[in-house]
Amino acid sequence: MELRTLHYFLAVAREENMTEAANVLHVTQPTLSRQMADLEAELGKKLFTRTNRSTVLTEEGVHLRQRAEEILSLVDQTEEEIRDDNTDLSGNIRIGAGITHLIHYLTETFAELRRDNPRLTIELWTGNADTIQEKLEHGLLDFALFIEPFHAEKYEYLRLPGKNKLGVVTSAHGPWADTGKVTPEMITQMPLMVSSRHTNRSFDLVAWSQGKVTPEKLTIVGTMDLSCNVNVLVRQGITNLLCLDKLEHQQSPDFVFLPLDPPFEVSSLVAWKKYRLLSRSCEAFLAALRARVGEEQ
């Protein structure tokens, strides 16, 4: 399969119209239609559902779109690394992270490098551990910051100094605002939004509570990928949010953070794929990050 064909396919997927995609690509509509027909024949899959006005992806087409974007991203990254010269650092450092204040170790390290290397750029992705790990596995990220628990055996990793406390964010005007803490007995009475982490299991409340809190005893209103999207529901008193402390989007008089009691602390780590050849810029970033972390340990 030629890379040009993937570019053509993604143009059709984005425009959802064969004629519009042909105009974007500066090719004729019959040429583009023939290319897409040949692609479907080569794969033995129906990729599009066509009408008079639109060309919509099938389920197989959606899957190919995801893989095509990953493939072309890797091609761009490889070409960028090959073009890298020895005068100064350039290129893009791609980092994925969960929401934690410990991200400052990575951003401050990048900022320090970029002061001396103005051609250096950064690409930041934010998501839960499952989303970030998938991108790391597919080579779409160079480094990933994970909030534990996380199974890091298959990666190289660097543990960051400092920890986060786990607790519950509640409405400042709600019934729990003045309690000061959340005990195992209290948490079973609170409606909660919790992380959607699946592949990487979330926080073990059973162990924390010595068996007093089980999944069946919790009142789960829903799950979320990023905690910042739940603010409105918490503010309205519809739910409470199980999350880490020191999150900037929770620093509002509308919210109160209640730490778990007994305390529940979690660490974070930066991981990258084993046996992967890092670009010169990524090697410099990693060396600077190790030095910064080493100063505080």
The structure tokens listed for 117 are 């290397």
**Per-residue tokens: 60:** 């197989």
pLDDT, the chain, mean: 88
Q: What is the mean pLDDT of residues 199-205?
A: 73
Q: Are strands 143-147 and 91-97 parallel, antiparallel or unpaired?
A: parallel
Region of 214 on the Ramachandran plot (φ > 0 left; ψ -120 to 50 alpha; else beta): beta
**C-alpha distances out from residue 288 to 72, 96, 118, 157, Å:** 29, 18, 16, 14
Q: Confirm if 59 and 254 have CB atoms less than 8 A apart.
A: no
Asked whether the predicted pLDDT for residue 219 surpasses 60, the reply is: yes
Residues of the chain above pLDDT 90, percent = 46
**What is the predicted pLDDT for the residue at 2?**
83
- Sorting pLDDT into bands at 50, 70 and 90, what band is 198? low
Q: What is the mean pLDDT of residues 249-278?
A: 90
Q: How far is CA 161 from the centre of its chain?
A: 21
Query: Over the stretch 130-174, which tens digit does the pLDDT of each residue have?
Result: 889 999 988 889 999 999 888 888 899 999 998 999 999 999 999
Q: What pLDDT, in 10s, does the model give residues 17-66?
A: 888 888 888 889 899 989 899 999 989 989 988 887 788 899 898 989 88
127 SS3 class: coil
